[in-house]
């Protein structure tokens, strides 16, 4: 296939998509109607699962060097700690929340793209498009008013919550707008407040979240009760200080605001992420409460999921049927994120005093149970995301229960690799499946599978059991596993999974 992929939208989602495709040799264009990259902090955190995805892309280090590591989350009732979880309990090579303003995330992704020879075409707007079954055609308008009509192999809608492409498809964006106003302020804070932890205060008057950005700079988020008449004016520093005095854990003083805003929470999602040659990604497909800070991360993981499949199909190494798995896999994840974020928000903004007391007692008691704290850490850090019910997940005879088919494949040292890779993530960087033999001889691949898979080996660990072969997807999820003596069955299932181009 020689026609490029068109990516509409150069936020974190579109930039990640472009980077992942280009690393696999896919021709592409990435456009954005804005004349310049956003200078707003917006999304603030990269969670461990997203950092693992960037590690597979070979570019995680610049993000780590630029961001700040937060290693804890605490929920307070006035001045008492209800629950305190340590993010360094995350079962990942990146056991922390990496605090990084979205403007920096976009800058770093754009720099990675530039190293690959790709540059964002700015001030270029997608005006209309058509899906002609064999190609997708897009009409683009440039800064000087001129227009072009060009054919593409596929179109990726990474153009945000007000997606032109989603509107053009006339796709329902089902959900609700929550009936409450919220305040956001990025300010400098003086006072006794840890800058390596996220602090959430539950008070009778509402919730206050204090999210570290860098040094003494924090994001302050607070609910303001029921929605009032739309107030377009930005919050004042006096209003921010008043909320800190009323709800904050200690005497805090706010100054030097960088960005203040009011907002309302939308919880919406499309049913289908794929429409022929057009794919909806990130906020174009789902938007939800900022609780948990997983919106941007979910969008970036959407396109990592899509990119390896699209690359295989674009190069003619797999049947286009492989792309059918994108929507069911990511739609299920979107529903999970919506549900979790919505629940966290509703629990935090309870107004009934009796329900507040019950909530605080329950959370305080449950927070003392280590197993439940680990569940919360796994959910926040996104290492619990899975594809158990994916069409690409196969349950073979004698499948390993750990990690089970559909679950995340933890990184670990490997050996017997032709490329010289020393870790699983390095093996997956080539965009192929990895056949991982654990404490067993590596298997020999038939020639027909060498374009889509590679073999490697490792020794048994707490995560991987001896005597098994694991088929690891390019996005580091287990597709299937079985005992080594069943390797021919596994190879046959892999061939059936990708089909023939």
* Per-residue three-class SS string for 31-58: EECCCCCCCCCCCCEECHHHHHHHHHCC
In residues, how long is the chain? Answer: 501
- Statement: residue 173 has pLDDT above 60: yes
Mean pLDDT of the chain: 93
* Predicted confidence band of residue 231 (pLDDT cuts 50, 70, 90): low
- Which residue would you say has higher pLDDT here, 39 or 73? 73
User: Closest by alpha carbon to 448, among 392, 391, 491, 396?
Assistant: 491
What is the tens place of the pLDDT at every residue in 400-431?
999 999 999 999 999 877 778 999 999 999 99
User: What's the confidence (pLDDT) of residue 6?
Assistant: 98
What is the tens place of the pLDDT at every residue in 33-51?
999 998 888 999 999 999 9
- Statement: residue 149 has pLDDT above 80: yes
- Statement: residue 288 has pLDDT above 90: no
* CB-count burial class (<10 Å; 0-12, 13-18, 19+) for 487: middle
User: What's the confidence (pLDDT) of residue 340?
Assistant: 87
Pairing of strands 206-214, 266-269: unpaired
What is the tens place of the pLDDT at every residue in 205-215?
999 999 999 99
User: What's the confidence (pLDDT) of residue 407?
Assistant: 97
Compute the C-alpha angle 483/485/488, nearest 5°.
105
- Statement: residue 179 has pLDDT above 90: no
* Predicted confidence band of residue 290 (pLDDT cuts 50, 70, 90): confident
E strand map for 305-447: 433-438
- Mapping DSSP to helix (H, G, I), strand (E, B) and coil, where does residue 180 land? strand
The 8-class DSSP code of residue 201 comes to E
User: What's the confidence (pLDDT) of residue 222?
Assistant: 95
To which H or E segment does residue 385 belong? none
User: What's the confidence (pLDDT) of residue 227?
Assistant: 62
To which H or E segment does residue 472 belong? strand 468-472
360-364: Cβ within 8 A, 24+ apart: 360/77, 360/82, 360/202, 363/75, 363/82, 363/83, 364/77, 364/82, 364/83
Measured distance CA(207)–CA(439) in Å, rounded: 51
CA dihedral for 161, 280, 15, 195, sign (positive or negative):
positive
* Predicted confidence band of residue 100 (pLDDT cuts 50, 70, 90): very high
- Structure token pair of residue 54: 């960037």
- Mapping DSSP to helix (H, G, I), strand (E, B) and coil, where does residue 346 land? helix
Lowest mean pLDDT among 23-32, 315-324, 411-420, 445-454: 411-420
E strand map for 125-170: 125-131, 136-141, 147-152, 154-157
What is the tens place of the pLDDT at every residue in 468-485?
999 999 999 999 999 999
Measured distance CA(208)–CA(101) in Å, rounded: 20
Which CA distances in Å does 36 have to 14, 33, 40, 264?
A: 15, 9, 12, 26
The per-residue DSSP string of 217-251 comes to EEEEEEEEEE--S---SPPPHHHHHHHHHHH-SS-
- Statement: residue 229 has pLDDT above 60: no
Pairing of strands 121-122, 28-32: parallel
Percent of the chain with pLDDT over 70: 98
Please report the domains of the chain, with CATH numbers, ordered by start residue.
5-44+101-174+267-345 (3.50.50.60), 179-264 (3.30.70.2450), 392-501 (3.40.30.120)
Lowest mean pLDDT among 19-28, 261-270, 296-305, 491-500: 491-500
Mean pLDDT over 225-253 rounds to: 85
Which CA distances in Å does 68 have to 47, 54, 88, 215?
A: 12, 16, 14, 9
- Statement: residue 230 has pLDDT above 90: no
Mean pLDDT over 320-331 rounds to: 97
What is the value of pTM for the model shown? 0.95
Burial 196-211 (b: 16+ CB within 10 A, else e): ebbbbbbbeebbbbbb
Mean pLDDT over 343-368 rounds to: 89
Measured distance CA(439)–CA(456) in Å, rounded: 11
Measured distance CA(246)–CA(233) in Å, rounded: 22
- Mapping DSSP to helix (H, G, I), strand (E, B) and coil, where does residue 415 land? strand
Q: Residue with structure tokens 């200078």?
A: 39
* Predicted confidence band of residue 228 (pLDDT cuts 50, 70, 90): low
The 8-class DSSP code of residue 67 comes to S
User: Is cis: bond before 403, omega within 30 of 0?
Assistant: yes
Cβ distance 113 to 129 under 8 Å? Answer: no
User: Closest by alpha carbon to 183, among 98, 78, 105, 290?
Assistant: 290
């Amino acid at each position: 296939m020689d026609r490029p992929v068109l990516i509409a939208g150069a936020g974190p989602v579109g930039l990640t998509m472009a980077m992942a495709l280009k690393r696999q040799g896919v021709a592409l264009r990435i456009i954005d109607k804005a004349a310049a990259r956003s200078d707003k902090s917006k999304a603030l955190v990269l969670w461990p699962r997203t950092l693992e995805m960037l590690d597979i892309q070979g570019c995680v280090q610049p993000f780590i060097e630029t961001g700040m590591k937060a290693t804890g989350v605490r929920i307070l009732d006035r001045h008492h700690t209800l629950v305190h979880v340590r993010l360094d309990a995350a079962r990942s090579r990146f056991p922390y929340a990496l605090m990084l303003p979205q403007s920096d995330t976009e800058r770093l992704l754009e720099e990675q793209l530039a190293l690959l020879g790709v540059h964002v075409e700015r001030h270029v707007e997608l005006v209309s498009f058509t899906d002609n079954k064999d190609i997708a055609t897009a009409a683009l308008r440039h800064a000087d008013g001129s227009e072009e009509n060009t054919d593409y192999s596929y179109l990726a809608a990474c153009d945000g919550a007000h997606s032109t492409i989603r509107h053009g498809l006339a796709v329902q964006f089902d959900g609700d707008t929550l009936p409450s106003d919220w305040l956001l302020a990025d300010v400098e804070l003086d006072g006794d407040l840890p800058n390596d932890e996220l602090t959430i205060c539950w008070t009778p008057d509402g919730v206050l979240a204090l999210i570290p950005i860098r040094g003494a700079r924090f994001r302050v988020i607070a609910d303001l009760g029921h929605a009032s008449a739309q107030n377009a004016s930005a919050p004042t520093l006096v209003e921010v200080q008043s909320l800190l005095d009323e709800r904050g854990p200690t005497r805090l003083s706010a100054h030097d605001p960088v960005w203040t805003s009011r907002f309302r929470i939308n919880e919406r999602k499309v049913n289908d992420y794929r429409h022929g040659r057009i794919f909806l990604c990130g906020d174009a497909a789902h938007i939800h409460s900022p609780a948990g800070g997983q919106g941007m991360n979910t969008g970036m993981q959407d396109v990592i999921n899509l990119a390896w499949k699209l690359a295989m199909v674009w190069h003619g190494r797999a049947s286009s049927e492989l792309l059918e798995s994108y929507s069911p896999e990511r739609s299920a994840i979107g529903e999970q994120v919506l549900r979790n974020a919505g629940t966290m928000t509703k629990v935090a903004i309870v107004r009934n005093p009796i329900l507040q007391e019950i909530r605080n007692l329950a959370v305080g008691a449950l927070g003392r149970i280590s197993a439940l704290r680990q569940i919360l850490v796994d959910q926040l850090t996104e290492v619990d995301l899975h594809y158990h019910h994916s069409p690409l997940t196969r349950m073979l005879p004698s499948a390993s229960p750990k990690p089970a088919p559909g679950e995340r494949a933890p990184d670990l040292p490997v050996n017997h690799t032709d490329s010289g890779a020393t870790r699983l993530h390095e093996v997956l960087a080539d965009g192929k499946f990895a056949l991982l033999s654990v404490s067993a001889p590596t298997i020999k691949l038939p020639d027909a599978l060498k374009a889509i898979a590679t073999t490697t080996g490792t020794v048994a660990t707490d995560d991987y059991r001896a005597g098994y072969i694991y088929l690891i997807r390019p996005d580091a999820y287990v597709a299937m596993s079985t005992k080594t003596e069943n390797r021919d069955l596994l190879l046959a299932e892999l061939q059936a999974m990708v089909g023939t181009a």
